[in-house]
Structures are given as structure tokens and as C-alpha cells.
Amino acid sequence: WVPLILDLDTGIDDSLALLYLLASPEAEILTVASTAGNVPAAQVAANNLAWLDLCGRPDVEVTLGSPVPLTDPLRTTEDTHGPQGIGYAELPASGRRVSTRSATQAWVEVARSRPGEVTGLVTGPLTNLALALRLEPALPQLLRRLVVMGGAFNHPGNTTPESEWNISVDPEAAQEVFAAFSAAPADRRPIVCPLDITETIEMRPEHLRRLAAAAGSVPAEIVTELDPPGTRSAASVPIIRHLSDAVRFYLEFHRDHGQGFLAHMHDPFAAALALDPALAEYRPATVDVELAGTLTRGCTVADWHGMWGRSPNVDVAVRTDPDAFFARLVDRVGAFARD
Ligand code: BDR
Ligand code: CA
């Protein structure tokens, strides 16, 4: 079993990360925090609730996170993820409400309730976790492990030339979180999953076709590059239909930005590592965040060689086999959607 606290800014790839975890028998989702990022926190919460309901999991708690980053005003990115954050998908709205406790409280209370057992997964800005660390500075000892999708090291940024989205939206939060883990022992070091590796994991229509076929969807050919933008999926399986409508938007976004008709699987890959770190190879590093640079604010800087004289505070995922990841994604989400 892998008990989990999720903190998502759902988001198209966050949606797929959530589906992957819901489809994974070893994942025990204890709570889902909604962080402001791709879209405002309230919209993220609506998306989290809607996906959980669609997947038959109205029992899972959804909390609302901070509406704003620690210092900066909130920036959102509807051009990447669609007006509601889920591309062209039109999910039935949930009748449920968010939890009465905040995302920050949930982080602290859930971690305290099962000391040393819980894995935290953050696939959005680190605002909620930074606030939780202010409330409970012992969180690094209480968590079994932390996995963060964020940063770019030997790789250009995707938000500014030097910064990746999740870090760029709330650089102070990221800086506080990385600093809080500076004394973590090697087997408790957070895993950081940066653009360097997530941009090697390219979902293409072929993967969606395999997913639909595994789910028993008719037709299985659901997204082709020849369809006009915004074409809705005709898949017979509801989870596959909504997922295809979401991912199509992401494919079109990547194509419109010269990257090809593909979608980078940032968050789903981080989710896969939260369950099974053996899917990647790692390099320990001391990571810090540039806050002051006029051109480089939000840039993650890695000291790979101990030049700062500080011990490593994270393990950076550096290599993986994308095909092995996609095989797992197709098997798991396909079987789950079929049921
Ligand atoms: C990250 O930015 C977001 O838009 C994605 O959901 C992902 O978490 C990639 O930089
Ligand atoms: Ca995200």
C-alpha cells in the first residue's frame, strides 16, 4: 500500500495523474488538495471533485488550497489547459462540496495521523505544502516520502526561459519546501521530477488509441491529427471519452507551440514515481530556487558537486524508459475505465 496526500492544480496532465492513481490498486488516496496554478483553486477543486465522482470515488476528501501564491499575484494558464483546466472535457459537475478543513490542515493532520507512512505528491505550485510546513515544521520527518513535479535543470524552462511553471508560479513556496528538507536522510529525500525528464515522455494519439482499446471503447481510434481542432471524442466508455477530450486540447497546445501533436506527461509520470520510484534513475543534488534574478526568478538551481558545502536535499529523476511508463498507464487506466 502507498498512502497518499495529493496536491494538484488540475490541469489536463494532473487529471491523468489522478486517473492513474485511482486506477492503481496499491494507491490509497487519503486526501486531495486543490492548489491554485493552472486555473484558480476553486476551479481546481471543482475538477478534482468531478473526476472523483466520475470514477466512483465520492468518498475521497477534496480540500481547497490557498487562492494565491505566498508573494506574487496568481497567474493561471488557461491557454495551456482550457478555460476550466480540463481542455475540451465537459465533466458532470459534482454535487459535493470541498472539505471543511483547508488543504494546509489536511496536509498536517493526515501526515500526523500516520507518521512515517504517507507519501506526498505535488503536481502544482508548492504553496499549500509551504504553508503546511510553517504550521508543522516536522513534516519532513512525518512523511514517508515527497514527490514533486517541478523545475528544469539542464533544460530550458516552459514559463520563462529559465523557469518551469510549478516553481515559477510560487518561487518562495518552492524555496521554503526545498530548504525544509535540507536535513532529510538519504532514504527520505524528496524526489524531484523536472522538465528534463518529463519532456521525454510524449503521449501521442497512438497511446490514446491503445488506452481506448484496453478499455473496450468503440471506436478505439479516438483522436487523430486530421480532425479539426476541438473535435469531440466518440468513445463509448465515459472515462475514455472525457479523458480524450481533455488530452486533445493538450495535443493541440503542444502542436501550436511547435512541439508536434503530442503531450508531455509531466504529472502522470510524477504520480507513477510516487507509487514506484524504481521507474526512474536519480541523481542526488542540492536544489535551491532563484528568487531575486530579474531574468531568472523561479529558476531551480542544482548543485551536483557539493560546491555550496550543503548536503543533497533531493533526488532528481534523470532517466527513464517512457515505453515502460506508457505500458503501465495503458494497462491500469484502460482496465479501470472498462470496469
Ligand atoms: C507543469 O505545469 C503545469 O501546467 C502542468 O500541469 C505540470 O504540472 C509542467 O511544467
Ligand atoms: Ca500540474
Helix, coil or strand: residue 35: coil
Write the residue with the smallest CA distance to atom 4 of ligand 1: 38
Task: Provide residues with CB under 6 Å of ligand 1.
Answer: 11, 13-14, 38, 77, 80, 123-124, 149, 158, 164-166, 266-267
Distance of CA 308 from the midpoint of ligand 2 (Å): 30
Mean pLDDT for 325-338 is 98
Q: Does residue 189 contact residue 315 with C-beta atoms inside 8 Å?
A: yes
Confidence of residue 226 (pLDDT cuts 50, 70, 90): confident
Q: Copy the grid coordinates of residue 252.
A: 493541440
| Residue 198 alpha carbon, nearest atom of ligand 1 | 9
pLDDT at 193 > cutoff 90: yes
Which of 59, 80, 102, 98 is CA-nearest to residue 11?
Answer: 80
Q: Which ligand is nearest to the CA of 193?
A: 1
| Residue 149 alpha carbon, nearest atom of ligand 1 | 8
Distance of CA 167 from the midpoint of ligand 1 (Å): 9
Mean pLDDT for 187-214 is 97
| Residue 81 alpha carbon, nearest atom of ligand 1 | 4
For 62, 63, 75, 79, 188, the CA distances from 202, given in Å and listed in that order, are: 29, 31, 26, 19, 29
Q: Copy the grid coordinates of residue 336.
A: 479501470
Confidence of residue 180 (pLDDT cuts 50, 70, 90): very high
Distance of CA 112 from the midpoint of ligand 1 (Å): 28
Mean pLDDT for 135-164 is 97
Distance of CA 11 from the midpoint of ligand 2 (Å): 6
Q: What is the 3-state secondary structure (H, E, C) of 87-147?
A: CCCCCCCCCCCCCCCCHHHHHHHHHHHCCCCCEEEECCCCHHHHHHHHHCCCHHHHCCEEE
Confidence of residue 218 (pLDDT cuts 50, 70, 90): confident
* Of 266, 269, 299, 300, best ligand 1 pocket probe by most atoms within 8 Å of the beta carbon: 266
Type and span of the H or E element at 286: strand 280-289
pLDDT digits (tens, 9 = 90+) for 43-53: 999 999 999 99
The per-residue pLDDT for 275 is 98
Q: What is the rounded CA–CA span in Å between residue 160 and residue 299?
A: 9
Distance of CA 166 from the midpoint of ligand 2 (Å): 7
Q: Which residues touch 186 (CB under 8 Å, ≥6 apart)?
A: 284, 312
pLDDT at 75 > cutoff 90: yes
pLDDT at 281 > cutoff 80: yes
Distance of CA 14 from the midpoint of ligand 2 (Å): 5
Q: What is the rounded CA–CA span in Å between residue 151 and residue 163?
A: 7
Distance of CA 149 from the midpoint of ligand 1 (Å): 8
Q: Which ligand is nearest to the CA of 80?
A: 1
Write the residue with the smallest CA distance to atom 2 of ligand 1: 165
pLDDT at 74 > cutoff 80: yes
| Residue 38 alpha carbon, nearest atom of ligand 1 | 4
Confidence of residue 266 (pLDDT cuts 50, 70, 90): very high
Choose the weakest-confidence range: 95-104, 202-211, 220-229, 264-273. 220-229
Confidence of residue 333 (pLDDT cuts 50, 70, 90): very high
The per-residue pLDDT for 219 is 77
The per-residue pLDDT for 222 is 74
Helix, coil or strand: residue 181: coil
Confidence of residue 60 (pLDDT cuts 50, 70, 90): very high
Q: Copy the grid coordinates of residue 155.
A: 533544460
Please provide the DSSP assignment of 48-80 as one string.
Answer: HHHHHHHTT-TTS-EEE--SS-SSSPP---HHH
| Residue 159 alpha carbon, nearest atom of ligand 1 | 10
Mean pLDDT for 55-67 is 98
Q: What is the rounded CA–CA span in Å between residue 15 and residue 49?
A: 11
Phi, psi at residue 110, to the nearest 5°?
-70, -40
Expressed in angstroms, the distance from the first to the final Cα of the chain is 21
**What ipTM was estimated for this complex?**
0.99
What residues pack around ion ligand 2 (CB closer than 5 A)? 9, 11, 14, 123-124, 267
Q: Copy the grid coordinates of residue 25.
A: 490498486
pLDDT digits (tens, 9 = 90+) for 111-132: 999 999 999 999 999 999 999 9
Which of 255, 252, 273, 287 is CA-nearest to residue 329?
Answer: 273
| Residue 80 alpha carbon, nearest atom of ligand 1 | 4
Long-range contacts formed by 205-209: CB under 8 A, 24+ apart: 205/251, 205/261, 207/326, 207/329, 207/330, 208/243, 208/244, 208/247
Other Cβ atoms within 10 Å of 282 Cβ, number = 17
